[in-house]
Structure 1
Amino acid sequence: MRQEFIELLESNLDHAENFKEKFDHVQDGQDPDFVTVCCSDSRVLQDHMWGNEHPGEVFTCSNIGNRVFQDMETGEAVSGDVLYPVAHTDTKTMVVVGHTSCGAVTATYKDLTEDINEPSGIRHCIDLIKDRLKDGVEKLPDDLDDSEAINRLVEYNVDQQVQFLRNSDEIPEDVDVIGAVYDFQNVYSGDRGQIHLINVNGENSVEKLKEENPEVSERFERLWEP
């Protein structure tokens, strides 16, 4: 067993000591206020990014590219892990969280522009994102370097995931679907680790979003409004 994992286990003892009194209210079930869909990137700290230390508050999902859908024999459907809290615990807020320098978006961008070779499992994930990013790549300004293009496509991917949820009959109309980007690189204004809101229920105009949500107007920021 590697030393790094032994140290991880030791850290868990600290976690258990700090949280041992915080699980009483979730012994018989859960009632999360939010479901978040993040990219499964080691740099994206799902609960920590919200400062959350309350079990039962955030239902966390993650996958390559923060996707909200899955392929079925009958076509695409909302992923079961994302849908579960909405369908069974009456969760009313869904948050799709992309992040700067996303590896999944990078790989998809490269595959669309120069073709890449990946193992079949990774290839499947890229193909799921590919159709949704294709139009975004075509709309990109010509004067961007690769990192700038990728960070704009991160936003585009979040927009596409939000729209899929909004268009799904499985998501009730009274559920808020919010799109955000987690920035650990100072790409946006503000400190590293800050979350920037880019989409609310399909609206992605920063000007309109600020007007409609004045209480958090300073949290809306986009690199690009395609």
Structure 2
Amino acid sequence: MQRLIEGFNRFRLESFPEKRELFEKLSAKQTPHSMIITCADSRVVPEFFTSSEPGDVFVCRNVGNIVPPYAQFTGGVSAAIEYAVAVLGVANVVVCGHTDCGAMKATMTPESVDKLPAVSAWLRHAHVAKHVVDNNYSHEASADTLASLTEENVVAQLDHLRTHPSVAARLARGNLTLHGWVYDIENGGIKAYCAQRGHFVSLSQVLENGESWPTATPPARLSGVLGNAA
């Protein structure tokens, strides 16, 4: 607790005064450009690795960066998505997994969380990714299996995300972009899912090659009918 209090004191004396104007603007309104749904893992700080300022991103964190399908489960994640998309009008939603994810390790070995009923029940939303890996991948090393499962879980949660009415409505109009990322804790890299290619690509290579941004967004169907209003 002492470390938290000392950290607050540094914020109060150093960081807050430097950004006083920003916090004054944020005191009455937030207008984040993106929502990031990521893992609760303490090593994963999306504001840090995206160099974001307060007010830039609306972050929802949970075990395993899970997005339950809308019809199956309505809770805090669903409410956060609805608020970010329908009220705040974010332009982007990112589902961000990460390397060495404990939730994915538990998904690989469900018996390891038998004594954690809440965790076990929550991770059922990742079982689809495990089935994809079990039936389509051939791995000898568990590390390779974990990497594949982490990526497939991001893809699975993107599929779940599209079942949410607020997301589906804006995707149909073409004014919401979806992204799937995997953050590498050790080297600071990000791999992004490219729906057109059907696999993950390095964001660093995309930047270096001047390529177009990889997205996980399906084609807009109703943009010409309903316009582009949020």
> 1:193 Cα deviation (Å)?
1.5
Q: Which runs of 5+ in 2 are unaligned?
A: 215-230
Task: Give the CA deviation at 1:25.
Answer: 2.5
Which has the larger displacement, 100-109 or 168-177?
168-177
If each structure's helix is expressed as a fraction of its own residues, which one has the higher value? 2
Preserved contact between residue 165 and residue 177 of structure 1 (Cα < 8 Å): no
Aligned counterparts of 1:160 and 1:49: Cα–Cα separation in 2: 23
TM-score, with normalisation over the residues of structure 1?
Answer: 0.77
Aligned to 1:31: 31
Q: What corresponds to 1:177 in structure 2?
A: 178
Is 1:83 equivalent to 2:107 in the alignment?
Answer: no
Q: Choose the corresponding residue for 1:123, options 115, 120, 125.
A: 120
Which letter maps to 2:162? R
TM-align CA RMSD: 2.8
Instruction: Give the deviation of 1:65 after TM superposition.
Output: 0.7
Per-residue Cα deviation, 1:138-167 (whole angstroms, up to 9, x for no partner): 322132x11221111110000011122234
Q: Which amino acid aligns with 2:178?
A: V
Q: Distance in 2 between matches of 1:89 and 1:116?
A: 36
Which runs of structure 2 are paired with 1:138-149 in the superposition (5 Å)?
138-143=135-140, 145-149=141-145
- 8 Å contact kept, 1:34–1:95: yes
Q: What letter matches 1:35 in structure 2? A: M
Residue 195 (structure 1) aligned with residue 190 (structure 2): yes
Normalising by structure 2, what TM-score?
Answer: 0.76
**Contact 1:99 1:154 (C-alpha < 8 Å) held by counterparts:** yes
Secondary structure of the residue that 2:131 maps to in structure 1?
A: helix
**Preserved CA contact (<8 Å) 1:166 1:177:** no
TM-fit CA distance, 1:33: 0.8
- The SS at the match of 2:60 is strand
Deviation at 1:127, TM superposition (A): 2.3
Q: Quickly say closer, same or farther: Cα 1:5–1:32, change in 2 above 3 A.
A: closer
1:171-211 CA-to-partner distances (Å, cap 9, x unmatched) read 111211100111112xxxxxx212221245x863458x999
